[in-house]
Amino acid sequence: MIQQAVGQDSPSTSEPRHHEVAIVGSGFSGLCAAINLRKAGIDDFVIFERGDSIGGTWRDNTYPGCHCDVPSYLYSFSFEPGRWSRKFGSQPEIREYLEHCTDKYDIRRHVELEQAIVALEYDEGKGIWRGETESGRQFTARSVIAAGGGLSNPAIPDIAGLDTFEGETWHSAQWNHDCDLRGKRVAVIGTGASAIQFVPAIQPEVGELHLFQRTAPWVLPKPDRPFKKWERFLLESVPPLARLYRFLIYWTLELRLIGFLKNVKLMDQVRKFGLAHIRRSIRDPELRQLVAPDFTPGCKRILMSNDYYQSLDQPNVALTNAGVAEIRPHAVVTGDGREIPVDVIIFGTGFKVHDHAGKIDIVGRGGRTLKAVMNESAEAYLGTTVHGFPNLFVATGPNTGLGHTSLLYMIEAQVHYMLQCIRKIRDNGLARFEVKKDVQDAYNAELQKKLAGSVWATGCKSWYLDDNGHNTTLYPDYTFRFRAATRHLDLSAYDTRPPLHEIKHRRRVGDLVNELHPTA
């Protein structure tokens, strides 16, 4: 509970600083929102960043081999194409790009670093959000943009005995660069998008690498290479050419959705391509069997790598799909009872993508928390607004994720929509701008109907699905349709009200008018 929510400050603190908009997080979503707020002439905003610098997931994930799996010219803002050395950006380049955008658009003065928000509470009487950071900084805001992102909170499985392990252990998003892996026995748990990048990077230097695979992913060749000097010159000096290149990438990736959503049988060709990639990359027949997935490509995230399979087919690597039953002080015990001595454990087990509130206690109308609401059913209208949480906007919220193209396209569409809402709130002094429950329900019912016939519903277990088996992660349609849906604000979808004190004032005025001019 935030102390100011009852209308009084602590004697030891000053009046909380008020902002038109408070943004939580300084990754792609937070920066996109900030840049577009400035473009719209709204300068009274603040970005609260829990880290010591901007960048979000591209600041945190510094593991060896960290790259993006979306082409650079599409994994960048449409209004800022960037300067890229290769077709798929590396973590250092992407982080440098975010720093560049922060400075070019004069956003840094709005950022408060090392200010992790611990609580946000909607004050229904005044129509504002009250917040508090871990350091005790208190603030109020008319609107809040939650831009923490789905890849910000690492997921570490609850394995018996993990706390007894005496060696080094970390998650891929919290890489320990001080630990020298040369010659060490390393256990890697998980074979997701991060693992297939850092495993090839560390394999040549470790003594032994034991990879624990729960489900083999589909891994396809990655069409990556450095840009030639003349290509970079043309893309950076001829803006229309860069826009055309981005346009071609967009449609090349967008058309892949046909196989994901419209004609799942087309994924049989992807299966053949993936199996051929395994045969070309791995000599050991038994290992080929272990890494061959048994589900339809696309049901789980399709990964890309040119060196992952080759790195597994090395004398110092052992792959097991027996699972992890227990961890002991110096070993990992497999599901079939084998004890494997290790010095280091690295988790490549992904993130808490369904935890849209993160570690923040977000309290809406009626005292309900966003965490509780999302745990029941992670739903939002247009993935952006949630019933019961007025003037709150969730970036990359439920069902805005993608399995085929760049999330930045969705982020820009969401931010465009948020700005329409925020302008309406600001220009009309609205205390409550809240999506109606029936509107939200109807929207999500339609999403689940579309998901039912997609490749994501073909039976595999993936992080796309919540504990109830519902796909609350992916958007089951073309991204240009999402952009069309968010292009114009439909006010009829929202309950809009002025502050409570203004309503009371209007009622008093209305009563007076009725006394002076009684109806017949």
Three-state DSSP state, 304: strand
pLDDT band at 356, cuts 50/70/90?
Answer: low
Whole-angstrom distance, CA of residue 151 vs CA of residue 70: 16
The rounded distance, in Å, linking the Cα atoms of 150 and 354 is 7
Question: Under a CB-based contact definition with an 8 Å cutoff, are residues 239 and 81 in contact?
Answer: yes
**Whether the predicted pLDDT of 147 surpasses 60:** yes
- Which residues, including other chains, have CB under 8 Å from residue 71's CB and lie 6 or more apart? 87, 88, 249, 253, 406
CA 98 to each of CA 27, 107, 286, 327: distance values in angstroms, whole numbers, following the listed order: 8, 11, 44, 39
Q: Of the candidates 165, 169, 209, 168, which has an alpha carbon nearest to the alpha carbon of residue 191?
A: 209
- What digits encode the pLDDT tens for the residues 65-108? 999 999 999 999 999 999 999 999 999 999 999 999 999 999 99
CATH (one of 3.40.50.360, 3.30.470.20, 3.30.460.80, 3.50.50.60) for 162-217+256-347:
3.50.50.60
- Residue 177 corresponds to which amino acid? H
Rounded to whole angstroms, the Cα distance separating 365 from 112 reads: 27
The fold of the 3-153+354-503 domain, in CATH, is FAD/NAD(P)-binding domain (3.50.50)
Q: What's CA 89's distance to the chain center, in Å?
A: 18
- Asked whether 288 and 312 are in contact (CB, 8 A), the reply is no
* Residues forming CATH 3.50.50.60 domain(s) in the chain: 3-153+354-503, 162-217+256-347
- The answer to whether the beta carbons of residues 143 and 391 sit under 8 Å apart is yes
β-strand pairing of 138-146 with 392-394: parallel
In percent, how much of the chain has pLDDT > 90? 82
pLDDT (tens digit per residue) in 258-279: 999 878 889 999 999 999 999 9
Residue-level pLDDT at 2 = 60
pTM score, whole prediction: 0.91
What is the number of other CB atoms lying within 10 angstroms of the CB of residue 466?
17
